[in-house]
Amino acid sequence: DAGVIQSPRHEVTEMGQEVTLRCKPISGHNSLFWYRQTMMRGLELLIYFNNNVPIDDSGMPEDRFSAKMPNASFSTLKIQPSEPRDSAVYFCASSLERQVEQFFGPGTRLTVL
């Protein structure tokens, strides 16, 4: 049974470029979370969806960040334009509504030069 799938696993880009991170949640899960991990701030929530609807995006740093969940099996996190301070590991996690545990993907390591 496949877990949460994230792509790409690594992304290196130059400042100013658009970056799109992708996530496929576990089949049947109806909640999806995007977290970011940095040395300075640790792990923090960016945005989460329940039943494809964004519930809380207060963690999104600024307008350069946007996230979508067009259907139950796919979500994207876009950064446009990217900046060096966006360099981090971005995790996607999913769960069922009444499930205690969240299941994490392997993360995407983003480096913005």
Q: Contact positions toward other proteins, by CB under 8 A?
A: 30-31, 33, 35, 42-45, 48, 50, 56, 89, 91, 93, 95-97, 99-102, 104, 106-107, 109
> In terms of CB distance, is 31 or 82 closer to other proteins?
31
> Least distance to other proteins from the beta carbon of 81, Å?
26
Min CB(16)–other proteins separation in Å = 27
Q: Min. distance of Cβ 106 from other proteins in angstroms?
A: 6
Which letter, b or e, does each residue of 3-41 get, where b requires 16 or more Cβ atoms within 10 Å of its Cβ?
ebebeeeebebeeeeebebbbbbbeebbbbbbbbeeeee
**Strands 108-112, 10-13: pairing kind:** parallel
Contact, 102 vs 2, CB < 8 A? no
Cβ closer to other proteins: 15 or 27?
A: 27
